[in-house]
Amino acid sequence: MAPPLLVASDHAGFELKEKLKKALDRMGVPYRDMGPATADPVDYPDNAHRLADGIARGEAERGLLVCGSGQGMAMAANRHRGVRAALAADEETARLSREHNDANVLALGGRLVDHDKAERILEVWLATPFAGGRHTGRVAKIDAGSSEVM
């Protein structure tokens, strides 16, 4: 059975990724680390694309990306059909990204959020279901690229 969560970072997000893996262990959330294995410099798009490919292929339902700001990895991941990566800097943004946008990838900035806050953001994001309803059609338009008014 595939893990419900894939995790990846670049060198700037490596330390926070490692701390969040320990938090996932405490929460009992299975995951697969897609790299890197060290804090040696790597290009963030490589690991973001690797994780997003896994989500798009159905290897996992959700993913966690961590780079310096979170923005670069979110941008790279969002190039993949079916991936909805959300950059969250607080719990409310994380909640709304799941509730309204059905975000399936959470991006965090390792240089911008401390470990405790990142863990709270992750917990909220994992616990929040997609609200569906009026949001379902809107989310469908993300991949469709439609601007048609509902």
Q: Give the Cα separation of 108 and 80 in Å (integer).
A: 18
Name residues whose C-beta falls within 8 Å of residue 113's C-beta, 6 or more positions apart in sequence.
Answer: 16, 89, 121
Per-residue confidence (pLDDT) for residue 146, from 0 to 100:
45
Select from 28, 8, 130 the least CA-distant residue to 72. 8
49, 100, 115, 135: which one is catalytic? 100
In a domain? residue 102: yes
Mean pLDDT of 23-39: 97
Per-residue confidence (pLDDT) for residue 148, from 0 to 100:
47
In a domain? residue 39: yes
In a domain? residue 149: no
67, 80, 115, 135: which one is catalytic? 67
Per-residue confidence (pLDDT) for residue 150, from 0 to 100:
40
Between strands 105-109 and 62-67, the pairing is parallel
Does residue 49 have an active-site annotation? Answer: no
Which residues constitute the domain of residue 47?
5-144
Burial of 136 from C-beta contacts in 10 A (0-12 / 13-18 / 19+): exposed
In a domain? residue 21: yes
Would the pLDDT of 26 be above 80? yes
Per-residue confidence (pLDDT) for residue 149, from 0 to 100:
43
In a domain? residue 150: no
pTM above 0.85, yes or no: yes
Residue 72 neighbours by CB distance under 10 Å: 21
User: Angle between the 115-127 and 91-99 helix axes, to the nearest 10 degrees?
Assistant: 20
Mean pLDDT of 36-59: 97
What's the residue count for the chain?
150
Backbone angles phi, psi at 105, to 5 degrees: -135, 130
Q: Give the domain CATH number at 17.
A: 3.40.1400.10
In a domain? residue 66: yes
Report the mean per-residue pLDDT for the chain.
Answer: 94
Number of domains within the chain: 1
In a domain? residue 35: yes
In a domain? residue 10: yes
pLDDT tens figures, 83-134: 999 999 999 999 999 999 999 999 999 999 999 999 999 999 999 999 999 9
Does residue 115 have an active-site annotation? Answer: no
